[in-house]
């Protein structure tokens, strides 16, 4: 059997409220409690197991969800109607904009615990066999690939995600 992610524990100040936030926003269902966990299962059978955790013990994590174009539209609408701030970049600098990386659409938003959530309509090319494969990490905002080999290269990729208004980010 190939290696697959089965579940992950999501630390939350209030597991019920956080599970409900994920489920409502992403169009998923909160499952029945399983021991100390409250599960939300994605369509590829990965379970997010929400666990009550003291606030000082919560380290913000990043959770990226690959969605269809129709799902993106529905989730984006729910985010906007709920008044949740959204961003074009992982550092939350492109306020009120989405990105168009890899020919798709994507956006970032935070859950009530500070976890950085992302929805994308195309897998990141580096993970989907894009140019350069494993030796390349990240896409510059302009669409050029940035090889990562030292700290300067990592900073270049980070700077690219500042998402200057260059036509690659929009509010639609």
Q: What is the pLDDT of residues 63-82, one digit of tens each?
A: 999 999 999 999 999 999 99
Domain that residue 49 falls in: 7-56
Residue 140 lies in a domain: no
> Which token pair is 8?
């992950």
Encode pLDDT of 12-63 as tens digits: 999 999 999 999 999 999 999 999 999 999 999 999 999 999 999 999 999 9
150 vs 90: which has the higher pLDDT = 90
Strand order from edge to edge, sheet including 38-41: 7-12, 47-52, 38-41
| Strand order across the beta sheet in which 98-99 lies | 62-66, 116-120, 106-110, 98-99, 169-170
Establish if 84 belongs to a structural domain: no
In the chain, the number of structural domains is: 1
pTM over 0.85: no
Is residue 13 in a domain? yes
pLDDT the model gives residue 124: 80
Q: Give kind and range of the element (H or E) at residue 22.
A: helix 15-26
CATH number of the domain that 12 lies in? 3.30.720.120
Q: Is residue 50 part of a domain?
A: yes
Q: Is residue 41 part of a domain?
A: yes
Does 22 map to a domain? yes
Q: What confidence score (pLDDT) does residue 128 get?
A: 55
Give the H/E segment covering residue 72.
Answer: helix 69-82
127 pLDDT band, cuts 50/70/90, is: low
């Amino acid at each position: 059997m190939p290696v697959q992610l089965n579940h992950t524990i999501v630390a939350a100040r209030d597991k019920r409220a956080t599970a409900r936030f994920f489920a409502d926003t992403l169009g998923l269902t909160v499952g029945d409690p399983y021991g100390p966990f409250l599960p939300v299962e994605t369509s590829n059978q990965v379970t997010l197991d929400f666990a009550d955790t003291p606030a000082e013990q919560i380290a913000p994590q990043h959770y990226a969800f690959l969605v269809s174009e129709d799902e993106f539209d529905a989730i984006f609408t729910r985010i906007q109607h709920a008044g949740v701030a959204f961003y074009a970049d992982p550092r939350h600098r492109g306020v009120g904009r989405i990105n168009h990386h890899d020919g798709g659409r994507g956006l970032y938003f935070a859950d009530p615990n500070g976890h950085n959530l992302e929805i994308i309509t195309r897998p990141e090319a580096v993970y989907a066999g894009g140019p350069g494969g494993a030796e390349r990490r990240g896409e510059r905002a302009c669409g050029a690939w940035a090889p990562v080999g030292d700290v300067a290269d990592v900073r270049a990729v980070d700077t690219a995600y500042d998402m200057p208004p260059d036509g690659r980010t929009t509010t639609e």
